Structure 1
Amino acid sequence: MLNFDLTVEDIREPLPSFSKEQAEQKIRMAEDAWNMQNPEKISTAYSLDSQWRNRDVFLKGRAEIVSFLTAKWQKENQYRLIKELWAYSDDHIAVRFTYEWHDDQGQWYRSYGNENWAFNERGLMQARHASINDVAISEDERLFHWPLGRRPDDHQGLTELGL
């Protein structure tokens, strides 16, 4: 596994002020990263002092993000995520998303949510606010069947799937 310097803030293009195409690019980059499930790499897309609210959990900084994501994917097995643009402006992007996963007992879930993102001038996310609801589903209700990792380009998005 590659090591990432969690103390350095790189520049992450595209940079604010976002066009629609740039907002969609930022979203797909985030989706791809989360589907690869590498907490250290993911954390470098956030500012050093990034603040999160994820459901009822409040985090600050990359170390807490890494710890949170590591624990998340120990619980959420076979995780597959799709994100979609909801709205955007200068340095903010609103995203709706759905992901599917199962717990250690084999119960499948579809998690629905939205995120509000704020970016700094370096293109790093400095704030993330996520609201998420989990719905138990049967295995035959699953819609996300690609191999673990990046969602294939030809896989339907949320709108096309009726989600």
Structure 2
Amino acid sequence: MNPRPPLPPFTAETAVQKVRAAENAWNNQNPEAVSLAYTPDTHWRNRDTFVHGREEVVAFLTQKWARELDYRLIKELWAFTDDRIAVRFVYECHDADGQWYRSHGNENWEFDENGLMRVRRASINDQLISESDRLFRWDAPGPRPDDHPGLTDLGL
């Protein structure tokens, strides 16, 4: 098993690094690459969907990004302990009909000693927005530029 730094126990600095690494990976929208950040037997709850193992992570993310178009995500550290991190996040995307959404959520993460996420629990609420109300504007897929404001700076 290849370690995925930063490794637990987390500090404030390494927890922020872990959150940004996850944000960048999801913004690249490569399900196979994203799945490697999770243990082979990872357990997720995403809204009302339960995912078990990397193969299901790949299938879930493939379906997600096929329907959530022009996806852009920002995550922010909320709290952390030795091997756990809580984040809040917001993402913007649109559906095939062109309806834009801003989705607000919270995640609880638990990591193994190699820095792989073994548990992910996500609660998410969707808000309809117009294209003109979008706040996340950078080239996608790809990571958020370092100079793009985060959630707190955007008032989210």
Residue 151 (structure 1) aligned with residue 148 (structure 2): no
Residue 129 (structure 1) aligned with residue 82 (structure 2): no
Aligned partner (choices 87, 105, 108) of residue 113 of structure 1: 105
Where in structure 2 are the equivalents of 1:70-109 lying within 5 Å?
A: 70-109=62-101
Aligned partner (choices 15, 23, 40) of residue 31 of structure 1: 23
What CA deviation, in whole Å up to 9, does each residue of 1:87-146 have, x standing for no partner?
Answer: 000000000000000000000000000000000001000000000011000111000011
User: Which runs of 4 or more aligned residues in structure 1 lie more than 3 Å from their structure 2 counterparts after TM superposition?
Assistant: none
Give ranges in structure 2 of 5+ residues lacking alignment: none
Q: Take 1:18 and 1:145, find their aligned partners in 2: how far apart are those partners?
A: 31
- Identity among equivalent pairs (%): 65
Give ranges in structure 1 of 5+ residues lacking alignment: 1-8
**Residue 59 of structure 2 aligns with which residue?**
67
What CA deviation, in whole Å up to 9, does each residue of 1:32-88 have, x standing for no partner?
Answer: 000000000000000000000000000110000000000000000000000000000
Taking structure 1 as the reference length, the TM-score comes to 0.94
Q: 1:10: Cα distance to partner? A: 1.5
Query: Which one-letter code corresponds to 1:41 in the other structure?
Result: A
Per the alignment, in what secondary structure is the counterpart of residue 16 of structure 1? coil
Residue 41 (structure 1) aligned with residue 30 (structure 2): no
Q: Take 1:139 and 1:13, find their aligned partners in 2: how far apart are those partners?
A: 37
**Residue 142 of structure 1 aligns with which residue?**
134
Per the alignment, in what secondary structure is the counterpart of residue 157 of structure 1? coil
Aligned residues: 155
Per the alignment, in what secondary structure is the counterpart of residue 40 of structure 1? helix
Residue 160 (structure 1) aligned with residue 153 (structure 2): yes
Q: 1:13: Cα distance to partner? A: 0.6
Q: Take 1:28 and 1:162, find their aligned partners in 2: how far apart are those partners?
A: 19
Query: Which one-letter code corresponds to 1:78 in the other structure?
Result: D
Q: Take 2:37 and 2:136, find their aligned partners in 1: how far apart are those partners?
A: 25
Query: Which one-letter code corresponds to 1:134 in the other structure?
Result: D
